[in-house]
Amino acid sequence: MNVHITPTMLGQVVISGILSGALYAMVALGLALIFGVMRIINVAHGPLLMLGAYTTYFLYSALGINPYLTVPVSMLVLFVVGVLLERTLVFRVVDAPELSSLLLTFGISIALVNLAQLLFTSDLRAVEYLTGSWVVGPFALSKSRLVAFVFAGALTGLAFLFLGWTKLGKAIRATSQSREVAMVCGINVQRIHLITFGLAAALAAAGGALIAVIVAIQPEMGQIWTFKSFLVIVLGGAGNYPGALLGGVLLGLIEQVASLFLTTQLSEVVAYVLLVVILLVQPTGLLGGRQT
C-alpha cells in the first residue's frame, strides 16, 4: 500500500491516539490494580466493562438520563457487582495456583457474556447522544471521544489521588507491595481485596459507559478489552500503576498509526504482534516492573 502521509494526517493520528489512549489507560488501571493487589488476572474485566456499557444504555434509553450523568451510576452498580463477585467466588482462589484463578474468572466471564446475550439479546445497541465532530483548524475532534478523554483523564487522576493520598489508597498500595507486611501493620487484607475488586470493576464500568456513547455495544464487546488492558499493563510493566498510563497512550498511538498503513481489520493483529514482540525483548515492560 502506498500512502502519502501529510503532517495534518499525522497530527490527526496523534490526537486520536491520545484520545483513545486515555480510555485504555483507565480501563487497564483496574486490571493492574487487581493484578498488583491480588496477583490475579481477572479475565472477566472486559465483560464487567460490557455490563457498565449496558447500565448506561438502559438508563439512557429507558429513563432518558443524560448518558454522561449515568457514568457515576454505572460505576456504583459495577462496584457492587465487583464486590459481590469477590465476596462469593474470587476470594476463594486468591492463594490458589494461577490455573484456578484464570479458569474461575474465565468461567465468570463466559457466564456474564451469555447472561447478557440471554437478557439483552445480541442486537447492536447505540446511545445516540453526542454525535459529530468539532473542527479545530485542520483537525476534526469527535465530540464523544473528546468528552470520553476528559472523563477518563479526570477519573484516572482521581484514582491516582486516591491511591496516593488517602489512608485506604495507601493501604491498597501497601498490600500490593507485600501482603504479609501489610497484615502485620494492621491492614485488613481481605477488606482491601474486596475494595480493590470493586474499584477495578467501577473503572471498567466507567470505560464501558463512555464507550457506549462512542460505538454501538453488544454482549461480546468485552473480551477484546481484557486483552487490550493486559497489553497496556505489559507495555507499562506489570504491577507498575503509572506504567498503565504510558501503556494506554502508547497503545492508542500505535493502533492509530497502524490504521494509517493497514486496514482497521488488522489493527488487532498489530496489537497482538506488539504483545509477542514485547514479551520477547522486554518482558518487564517499558518502565520496568513492580514499582507502586
Partner 1 sequence: MTRRRAALAALAAVVAVLAAYPAFASGYGVRATLQVFMWIVLASSWNLISGLTGYVSFGHVAFFGAGAYAGAILVAKAGWPWLPAALAGGVAAVLLALVIGYPCLRLRGPYFAIAMLGLNEVLRALVSYFEGLTGGGNGLSLPTLDATIPIYYAMGASAAMVTLVTHAIITSRFGLRLMTIREDEVAAEAMGIDTGRHKLYAFLLSAAGPGIAGALTARDQGYIEPISVFPLATTITMIVMVLFGGKGTVWGPVLGAVVLFVAQEVVWTRYPYVHPLLFGAIIVAVVLLMPRGVLGILQIRYRLPRTI
For partner 1, the binding residues (CB under 8 A) are 35, 41, 43, 89, 92-93, 97-100, 102-104, 106-115, 117-118, 223-224, 226-227, 230, 234, 238, 263, 265-266, 268-269, 271-272, 275-277, 279-280, 283
Q: What is the CB neighbour count within 10 angstroms for residue 220?
A: 15
Give CA separation, 199 vs 76, 113, 237, in Å: 9, 21, 20
Identify which of residues 58 and 91 has a Cβ nearer to partner 1 in the complex. Answer: 91
Q: Are the C-beta atoms of residues 115 and 222 closer than 8 Å to each other?
A: no
Q: Minimum CB separation from partner 1 for residue 120, in Å?
A: 12
Give CA separation, 265 vs 126, 170, 208, in Å: 21, 42, 22
**Side chain identity at 197, as an amino acid letter?**
F
Q: Minimum CB separation from partner 1 for residue 277, in Å?
A: 8
Q: Minimum CB separation from partner 1 for residue 227, in Å?
A: 4
Identify which of residues 64 and 97 has a Cβ nearer to partner 1 in the complex. Answer: 97
Identify which of residues 93 and 182 has a Cβ nearer to partner 1 in the complex. Answer: 93
Q: Minimum CB separation from partner 1 for residue 9, in Å?
A: 23
Report d(CA 200, CA 31) in Å as an integer. 6
Residues 6+ apart with CB under 8 A from 60: 66, 67, 70, 127, 129, 212
Phi–psi pair at 123, nearest 5 degrees: -60, 145
Kindly report each contact of residues 271-278 with a partner whose C-beta sits within 8 Å and lies 24 or more positions away, as own/partner: 271/227, 271/228, 271/231, 274/231, 274/235, 275/230, 275/231, 275/234, 278/234, 278/235
Identify which of residues 158 and 279 has a Cβ nearer to partner 1 in the complex. Answer: 279
Instruction: Kindly tell me the burial class for residue 138, based on how many C-beta atoms sit within 10 Å of its own C-beta (0-12, 13-18, 19 or more).
Output: exposed
Identify which of residues 282 and 291 has a Cβ nearer to partner 1 in the complex. Answer: 282
Identify which of residues 142 and 223 has a Cβ nearer to partner 1 in the complex. Answer: 223
Report d(CA 109, CA 257) in Å as an integer. 31
Residues 6+ apart with CB under 8 A from 223: 46, 47, 109, 113
Q: Minimum CB separation from partner 1 for residue 136, in Å?
A: 33
Q: Minimum CB separation from partner 1 for residue 239, in Å?
A: 11
Identify which of residues 107 and 138 has a Cβ nearer to partner 1 in the complex. Answer: 107
Q: Minimum CB separation from partner 1 for residue 126, in Å?
A: 22
